[in-house]
Amino acid sequence: MKPLRYSVLLLLFFNSTFLFAQNEKMQWFGDAKLGIFIHWGIYSVDGTDESWAFYNKKVPYPVYMSQLNRWQAENYHPEDWAKLIKQSGAKYTVLTSKHHDGVALWDTKQIPEVANRKSQPLSVVKRAPAKRDLFTPFSEAVRKEGLKLGVYYSILDWSHPDYPGFTKDSSRYQIKSDPVRWERFCTYNRNQLSELMLQQNPDLWWFDGGWEHSAEEWQAPELGKMLRDHNKGVIINGRLPGQGDYDTPEQNFPVQRPKEKYWELCLTTNNNWGYQPKDDHWKSPQEIITIFADVISNGGNLLLDIGPMADGTIPVQQVEILQELGRWNAKHEEAIFSTVGGIGPGHFYGPSTLSKDSTALYLFIPGHASGDIHVRGLKNDVESIEVLGTNVLAKSHVVGKISWSDKPGLLFIDLPKDQVWQDPIMTVLKVKLKGKLNLYNGSGGL
């Protein structure tokens, strides 16, 4: 065999092996569909912007940090949090271990150096009235409920004296002018990540803050290698530059599906990530479920955020949202979890998903729908159409099919006239196909 041909075959072998391992690692994430994000930190004490409040100079830095001296977390019951997350239907959860303000929720041993003088670690254990690790009890409760654990970690740290950035219009130094100082900060970051890695062994790392420096400056390849050497199956989001296993669009639903095979929309339940008592712009369960259906229709996950109060109480509005989401998920779980993205707007004007064997098509329709709906380009015959969560069957007929043409007609589904079949928020129809999905994508004609 010629050397060049051998090299090509070897490259193809290693590429296929890597893709197989990557898909196997990502399988639980692709099947999960729903995760719950939790932003909890000192910012919940006064109900101000998490870290950004001092960065954008809305409040002075000392005022912002004074919240640490008043954080007691007296009503924190992580077991109740984990049970509520499980009830929502979510399969994983991500808790902030440290936001951009640098305050650690675990008992970190890393101590920032200031002018050769050592201080206490910047953690709730050492500096807050709570005087305890707030992260580990949650991770234990999450694992007890059979959920996957994600750790949010900000790689930038505006409080650390060796980090270059501080506020939007000021900085401490330039990396190129003081590489020793930057290396000291990178060591601090790496040591904190090592602590979390060994103590929590998360299934997923949710990094943030990578925009301020390059992958090389962050030493991102070394960090990624450290985390993956410890846990071969760990998943890393796309915000540690160059190390991401999936993409993370934020807040606004992407008009075009992200290029990554795996992606996740992170979304707040009101307008803020952390607890802010003046923010009453709550998304309704209908809005969230509609967005969720669009996400899974496009092959993604939804990471829905809640922001507990300083004492550990989850706002009642967020509890109600998660409970209603859980009701809807339980009723329609067959169409949600362990499915793949659907058939797209050219075939059906609404969200849809497919069973992994492509023999069942799930159509998501508004709760108030009436009359009929139609599917275009479906070559398969239909075995049955079921309203999920009920015993109701729907009838269908084909319009425009010409006997001598191989082009399919339009499948019209006659929605039952009895309104009892409808879900108050969104109904799902299961279209059982004869054989695997076979779609026509042409432009018509003879």
pLDDT on residue 219: 98
pLDDT digits (tens, 9 = 90+) for 183-221: 999 999 999 999 999 999 999 999 999 999 999 999 999
The per-residue pLDDT for range 49-61, each reduced to its tens digit, is 999 999 999 999 9
Within the chain, how many helices (H) and strands (E) appear? Answer: 12, 19
Task: Note the pLDDT tens digit of each residue in 318-351.
Answer: 999 999 999 999 999 999 999 999 998 889 999 9
- Residue 405, pLDDT > 50, answer yes
Same domain, 370 and 421: yes
Query: Comparing 420 with 149, which gets the higher pLDDT?
Result: 149
- Residue 444 inside a domain? The answer is no
- Domain boundary (287, 307, 337) is at 337
Are 86 and 142 in a shared domain? yes
Q: Residue 446: what pLDDT?
A: 58
Assign residue 424 the CATH number of its domain.
2.60.40.1180
Residue 440 within a domain: no
Residue 276 pLDDT greater than 60, yes or no: yes
Joined tokens for residue 375: 């599917």
**13: confidence class by pLDDT, cuts 50, 70, 90:** very low
Structure tokens given for 111:
């101590």
| Together in a domain, 281 and 399 | no
Same domain, 136 and 58: yes
Which domain range does residue 351 map to? 340-433
* DSSP symbols for 355-369: ETTS-EEEEEEETT-
pLDDT, averaged across the chain:
92
Q: Are residues 100 and 195 in the same domain?
A: yes
Q: Give the model's pLDDT for residue 445.
A: 60
Structure tokens at 248: 């993370």
* Residue-level pLDDT at 4: 59
Are residues 332 and 345 located together in one domain of the fold? no
Give the count of alpha carbons within 13 A of 63, CB side only. Answer: 12
Cα separation, 230 vs 284, whole angstroms:
41
Alpha helices in 231-315 (DSSP H): 285-297
pLDDT, position 16: 45
Residue 206 placed within a domain = yes
Give residue 7's pLDDT.
Answer: 54
Query: Would residue 84 count as lying in a domain?
Result: yes
Give the per-residue pLDDT at 358: 97
167 is written with which tokens?
């506020």
Strands (E), 264-371: 264-268, 301-306, 339-341, 352-355, 360-366
Q: Which of 290, 320, 337 is the last residue of a domain?
A: 337
Q: Which amino acid is at 6?
A: Y
Q: How many CA atoms lie within 13 A of 329 on its CB side?
A: 26
Same domain, 368 and 329: no
Whether residue 172 lies inside any domain: the answer is: yes
- Residue 116: pLDDT above 50? no
pLDDT at 2 over 70: no
In a domain? residue 402: yes
Mean pLDDT of the region 42-48 = 98
The whole-model pTM stands at: 0.93
- 351 and 413 in a single domain? The answer is yes
- pLDDT for 17: 46
Give yes or no: residues 171 and 313 share one domain: yes
Q: What is the domain count for the chain? A: 3
| Domain termination residue (choose one: 308, 337, 366) | 337
**Does residue 40 sit within a domain?**
yes
Strand ranges inside 29-91, DSSP E: 34-38
Q: Is there a domain that residue 408 lies in?
A: yes
pLDDT at 14 over 50: no
Q: What is the pLDDT of residue 419?
A: 72
pLDDT, tens digit (0-9, with 9 covering 90-100), for 372-397:
899 999 999 999 999 999 989 999 99
Are 252 and 331 in the same domain? yes
Please report, for the domain that includes residue 124, its CATH number: 3.20.20.80
> Can you tell me the distance from the alpha carbon of 242 to that of 240, in angstroms, rounded to the nearest whole number?
6
Tens digits of residue pLDDT in 350-371? 999 999 999 999 999 998 887 7
Question: Quick one: 143 and 271 in the same domain?
Answer: yes
Clarify whether residues 73 and 15 are in a common domain: no
Q: Which two tokens stand for residue 130?
A: 């709570």
